[in-house]
């Protein structure tokens, strides 16, 4: 009778380990309309987080049968490093750049948008290349992929810890151009009453992903990827997008 009991105990332990492996903590930041605290603050959990990416990943985790807790915190560097260093953690919405490629396991794209320079509606600035923008005062968001790309091109960018500061900086003439992305930037500008901002230049495009710690099992990653594609094929993701 001892062997069957030991076998049962072993199977229970294996099941417990597998259950834990199917649980993830997905970290994020305020990046409207992709992920944002319902309260408008810098901390939120689960249903307190809304947005295109947040809702998409809830559907993906549910379809994949994986328990996913969502946590929104500030600043970006904190959640980025936690997902990078700690098993069981992931991060969204993340631009999948060459520099980050080998650092995470990727699920997506869950969303995408153009990288742009926004100007005031009455601004005379006309641009045909990113290098021309170096003649102007540029504002951006620290840790944001579009801003980092511009910095990597050798241009000076006044980086803010809060992206929500940039619409006011642009409107008040503290900067001439705002380095941002088409969907997020225009959404944030409209929320603050600046519907007249215009795109002065489109200089790239970034698909947004869920970035998972490298220790995440391949089986978990495969389940999430398969669930995402199923939902995309069914048109469920388009329904989420249309809400925002």
Q: Would you kindly state where each structural domain of the chain is located, as residue ranges?
A: 19-112+207-243, 113-206
Question: What is the per-residue pLDDT across 50-98, written as a single tens digit (0 to 9) for each?
Answer: 999 999 999 999 999 999 999 999 999 999 999 999 999 999 999 898 8
Task: Given CATH 3.40.190.10, say whether it is the number of domain 113-206.
Answer: yes
Structure confidence by residue, pLDDT tens digits, 130-150:
999 999 999 999 989 999 999
Say which residues have a Cβ less than 8 Å from residue 93's Cβ, sequence separation at least 6.
Answer: 28, 31, 34, 35, 53, 110, 111, 208, 209, 210
Q: Identical fold at 19-112+207-243 and 113-206?
A: yes
Which residues are within 8 A (CB) of 75 and not within 5 positions of it... i.e. 6 or more apart?
A: 29, 142, 143, 161
User: Residue 195's pLDDT band (boundaries 50, 70, 90)?
Assistant: very high
Which superfamily, per CATH, for 19-112+207-243? Periplasmic binding protein-like II (3.40.190.10)
Q: What is the pLDDT of residue 5?
A: 52
Burial pattern 98-107, b for ≥16 Cβ within 10 A else e, equals eebeeebbbb
Q: What is the pLDDT of residues 201-223, one digit of tens each?
A: 999 998 999 999 999 999 999 99
* Digit-coded pLDDT (tens) for 88-133: 999 999 989 889 999 999 999 999 889 999 999 999 999 999 999 9
Distance between CA atoms of residues 55 and 90, nearest Å: 15
- Name the strands in the sheet holding 105-119, side by side, starting at the edge strand that comes first in the sequence: 44-45, 67-72, 23-28, 89-95, 198-212, 105-119, 177-181, 138-141, 157-160
The answer to whether the peptide bond before residue 235 is cis (omega within 30 degrees of 0) is no
Could you report the per-residue pLDDT of 11-43, keeping only the tens digit for each? 444 444 444 457 999 999 998 999 999 999 999
């Amino acid at each position: 009778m001892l062997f069957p009991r030991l076998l049962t105990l072993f199977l229970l332990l294996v099941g417990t380990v597998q259950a834990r492996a199917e649980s993830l903590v997905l970290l994020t930041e305020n990046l409207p309309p992709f992920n944002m605290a319902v309260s408008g603050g810098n901390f939120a959990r689960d249903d307190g987080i809304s947005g295109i990416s947040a809702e998409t990943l809830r559907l993906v985790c549910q379809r994949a049968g994986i328990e996913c807790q969502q946590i929104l915190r500030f600043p970006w560097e904190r959640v980025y490093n936690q997902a990078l260093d700690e098993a069981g953690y992931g991060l969204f919405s993340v631009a999948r750049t060459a520099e980050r490629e080998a650092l995470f396991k990727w699920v997506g794209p869950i969303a995408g948008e153009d990288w742009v320079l926004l100007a005031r509606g009455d601004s005379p600035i006309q641009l045909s290349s990113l290098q021309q923008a170096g003649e102007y005062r540029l504002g951006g968001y620290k840790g944001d992929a579009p801003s980092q790309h511009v910095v990597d091109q050798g241009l000076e960018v006044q980086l803010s810890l809060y992206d929500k500061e940039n619409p006011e900086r642009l409107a008040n003439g503290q900067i001439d151009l705002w380095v941002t992305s088409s969907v997020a930037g225009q959404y944030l500008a409209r929320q603050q009453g600046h519907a007249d901002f215009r795109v002065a230049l489109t200089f790239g495009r970034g698909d947004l992903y869920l970035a998972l710690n490298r220790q995440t099992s391949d089986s978990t990653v495969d389940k999430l990827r398969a669930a995402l594609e199923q939902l995309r094929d069914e048109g469920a993701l388009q329904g989420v997008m249309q809400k925002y």
